[in-house]
Amino acid sequence: MSATSLFSSVAVGGVDVRNRVWVAPMCQYSCLARDGHPTAWHRVHYGAFATGGFGLVVTEATSVVPEGRISPEDAGIWSDEHVDSWRPVVEFAHEHDTRIVMQLAHAGRKASTHSDLSGRTGTVEAAEGGWETVGPSVGSFGSLAPCRALGVDEVRAMPSLFAEGARRAVLAGFDGVEIHAAHGYLLHEFLSPLINHRDDEYGGDLEGRSRLLREVVAAVRAVLPAGAALLLRISATDWADGGWDPDQSVELVQMLADAGVDLVDVSSGGAVEHQEIPVGPRYQVGLAGRIRRATDIPTGAVGLITDPRDAQDILDEGESDVVLLGRAALREPRWPLRASRELDVDGSALFPAQYRRAVLRPGR
């Protein structure tokens, strides 16, 4: 790639994205009415990234069913009423030439928890608006309340729920969706042998443990219009002995090679508490690179990517096709503008017209 590849356009499926600096999904826990509807907070939050020069934004985990929320304050897309709530968020992003995709999620056994904003931890009790959680097998994450195992008919119904969420996202104007199969949430729970102890068609070997995710991908792809982007977020490793690992991740993505996944957003961890994650700059980048080279499917790298030159190097080294920023984007919603200056790229096109007077030029 060229020295300015961070700001070169990229096609994701049929979606043209103006640059390769994207915003990773980050929960906001701010649907205060507990009904899954985004609020003014979300319009400002996502709007800041659109005016800040990011090429694409992935929304926070947005649940396809009420009981799939991580917390009662999480976002939702389980009813047609949510479509109109999300539409202003999408329209504002598009006004500023930023693409936006919705992350479709189900938190599984990690649902019904107190949010980070509440100052409390643990499971939300029923009296406070909590609910029974579900997973592939009976069990719990740490000190959270144990979940019940989904019946086989409930599992078979799950792909249609994700597909309905995708259909509604398209009606709201989103450029596509990302299926959340990472961080110990439901689809990742089915993948991980540390969590999935089923002895039916959805358990056992990799073929069985990946069946639900493959069915979800197929169902979602089937309802997306031609040209809409389909992203998949995975945890490439559980960082725990006997768990999901990079070899299985490569095999999974190879299974999905013809399923219509346009890009794999490569994260890691979250399945079990006894994980040992070597957190540091670029600690997940090699996982994205390995999948990219082994499968020829584009990947996104995420995790402690904060320096513009480092982000550029990741692309130039062939480790990923795009980079996704999380906390760095929260700290600096106009990170791409600073990056353009540090990489000596004309950043004027990243500014809204109202801000053009602030274009950073040498010596000013």
| CA dist., res. 139 & res. 146, Å (int) | 5
- Residues 185, 202, 283, 355: which is the catalytic one? 185
Q: Which two tokens stand for residue 126?
A: 């029923």
- Count other C-beta atoms under 10 Å from residue 240's C-beta: 18
Per DSSP bridges, beta strands 263-267 and 322-325 are unpaired
Cβ 182 vs Cβ 172: under 8 Å? no
Amino acid at residue number 219: A
Would you call 185 a catalytic residue per the annotation?
yes
Query: Is the Cβ–Cβ distance between 299 and 292 less than 8 Å?
Result: yes
240: which residues sit within 8 A by CB, 6+ positions away?
A: 194, 271, 272, 274, 275, 276
Question: Is beta strand 134-135 parallel, antiparallel or unpaired with respect to 148-149?
Answer: parallel
Structure tokens at 1: 């790639």
Contact in structure between 100 and 142 (CB atoms under 8 Å): no
Determine which helix (DSSP H) or strand (DSSP E) holds 266, and give its type and residue range.
Answer: strand 263-267
Phi, psi of 207 (to 5 degrees): -60, -45
Would you call 80 exposed, middle or buried from its count of C-beta atoms within 10 A (0-12, 13-18, 19+)?
Answer: exposed
135: tokens are 């997973």
Backbone angles phi, psi at 261, to 5 degrees: -75, 125
Report the number of secondary-structure helices (H) and strands (E) in the chain: 11, 13
CA 171 to centroid of chain Cα atoms: 20
The string of DSSP letters for 275-332 reads -----STTTTHHHHHHHHHHH---EEEESS---HHHHHHHHHTTS-SEEEESHHHHH-
For 17, 52, 359, 362, the CA distances from 356, given in Å and listed in that order, are 21, 12, 5, 15
Give catalytic residue positions: 185
